[in-house]
Amino acid sequence: MSEAQVTQETTQYQEINDLLSKNKHYKEGFVTTTAVETFEKGLNEAVIRAISAKKNEPQWMLDFRLKAFAHWQTLEEPHWAKAEYEPLDYQDYSYYSAPECGACSEGACSTESEETIDPEVAKAFAALGVPIQGEDSNVAVDAIFDSISVSTTKREELAKLGIIFCSFSEAVQDYPELVQKYLGTVVPYHDNYFAALNSAVASDGTFVYIPEGVRSPIDLSTYFRINEAKTGQFERTILIAEKGSYVSYLEGCSAPVRDTYQLHAAVVEVIVHEDAEVKYSTVQNWYPGDEDCEGGILNFVTKRGICEGKNSKLSWTQAETGSAITWKYPSCVLKGDNSIGEFYSVALTNRRQQADTGTKMIHIGKNTRSTIISKGLSAGKSDNTYRGLVKIAPSAEGARNFTQCDSMLIGDQCGAHTFPYIEVENASAQVEHEATTSRIGEDQLFYCQQRGISEQDAISMIVNGFCKEVFSELPLEFAQEAEELLAISLEGSVG
């Protein structure tokens, strides 16, 4: 390459980077001030007992927490992901924070009703566009503010169908036998470092139970909001779909702009029984931090579902645009014969964000099928990594997997990486993996511009086309939101 060309390219990217650095659009970055009850920073057995007491939990739940905590102490913080971060000081976080309400301080959270929502909190959710008052929206919402669930809408309607949709803490009180039966069955407390931590200090989360033969008429959704500085959010979500049922579940999240890293270590367990289908969609828009991603959310999430019964289906769809560091591998254990696992993902990193995300497909049952479509977009100085495992056990006669990982680089300061692990132990299985890397070609841009489309729109078009296969899997409103998010996150990435 000639020197002139080099300088030309440098200036071109300089421009891009300048524009990128101006891009501070994190409209969800406001802070809510309200009376809160926050635990002192620090983590020890007393804190765990206090969390449990606060939630008025039965003995078995406390035992589960303590067992997990004891195990967590023997573990080492994992640093194998392709992301660089300083070891976290777990004593510098608070492990419980909740808006104060009369009911809470008396330790009877379970009786909390919509009337008791702190107006400030309600305002925050209204600003985020989350319908927590159960207005005439087409979706049931569980809104989680720091450590607790503040409101769950449309419960009565759903209850008529036998669907249980409530916060995790309520479920522990009201449906202990169900929680006990499923808690830790998909993600055991000793699964990994962050799962152990979550099991020990689990704050709140959502509990969904779809009874046999019921199709949930509306989408169920949870919105996570971290508000307090220096707190960790450790929600635990359990979703059970009984025989022949169907549910579409959505998850969204955001956090205010802070200057220190906040920790989010969630665990999601999904159990899909015979002939049931679960669609699990996530739009992750945690605060990514400032230009250097200082102060963003550290998103260390363990999501796993098991297709327990025959012909069951679990589909993960995710649009990841936020967080300073993402460490997340939604997985499917395909145990039932003919069960299907799907993973559709768009991950966008900008500035200095680091995402190490992907999936695991464990084929155990006969004729199990899985599809992985992963689209990674890197811009700025970010690193975007796909890491996935496809394992075909010897018992998985006739299993089938198709994996496609496409990466797009926007600018020459970013990185796109693909680390697939493929383990095949059955000869009748058919496993395919493809990966490509590309960028937005100058000729593509030129073509669009020639037809009167501005450069910005052209990029948006190309990127949306690149991600289309995944967006088409998202529920309609979510797909729109994801597209908009992508546009905002990419705004100004080319001059």
CB of 412: closest distance to another protein in angstroms? 5
The nearer residue to another protein, 44 or 260, going by C-beta atoms, is 44
CB of 157: closest distance to another protein in angstroms? 45
The nearer residue to another protein, 244 or 492, going by C-beta atoms, is 492
Bridge partners (DSSP) of residue 30 are none
The nearer residue to another protein, 74 or 113, going by C-beta atoms, is 74
The nearer residue to another protein, 47 or 467, going by C-beta atoms, is 47
The nearer residue to another protein, 78 or 465, going by C-beta atoms, is 78
The nearer residue to another protein, 271 or 431, going by C-beta atoms, is 431
CB of 411: closest distance to another protein in angstroms? 6
CB of 422: closest distance to another protein in angstroms? 5
CB of 409: closest distance to another protein in angstroms? 4
CB of 378: closest distance to another protein in angstroms? 9
The nearer residue to another protein, 135 or 443, going by C-beta atoms, is 443
Q: What's the 3-state SS for the chain?
A: CCHHHHHHHHHHHHHHHHHHHHCCCCCCCCCCCCCEEECCECCCHHHHHHHHHHCCCCHHHHHHHHHHHHHHCCCCCCCCCCCCCCCCCHHHCECCEEECCHHHHCCCHHHCCHHHCCHHHHHHHHHHCCCCCCCCCCEEEEEEECCEEEEECCHHHHHHCCCEEEEHHHHHHHCHHHHHHHCCCCCCCCCCHHHHHHHHHCCCCEEEEECCCCECCCEEEEEEECCCCCEEECCEEEEEECCCCEEEEEEEEECCCCCCCEEECCEEEEEECCCCEEEEEEEECCCCCCCCCCCCEEEEEEEEEEECCCCCEEEEEEEECCCCEEEECCEEEECCCCCEEEEEEEEEECCCCEEEECCEEEECCCCCEEEEEEEEEEECCCEEEEEEEEEECCCCCCCEEEEEEEEEEECCCCEEEEEEEEEECCCCCEEEEEEEEEECCHHHHHHHHHCCCCHHHHHHHHHHHHHHHHHCCCCHHHHHHHHHHHHHHHCCCCC
The nearer residue to another protein, 162 or 420, going by C-beta atoms, is 420
For binding to another protein (CB under 8 A), which residues are involved? 1, 42-44, 73, 75-77, 80, 87-91, 394, 407, 409-439
CB of 91: closest distance to another protein in angstroms? 6
CB of 355: closest distance to another protein in angstroms? 14
CB of 108: closest distance to another protein in angstroms? 31
The nearer residue to another protein, 437 or 464, going by C-beta atoms, is 437
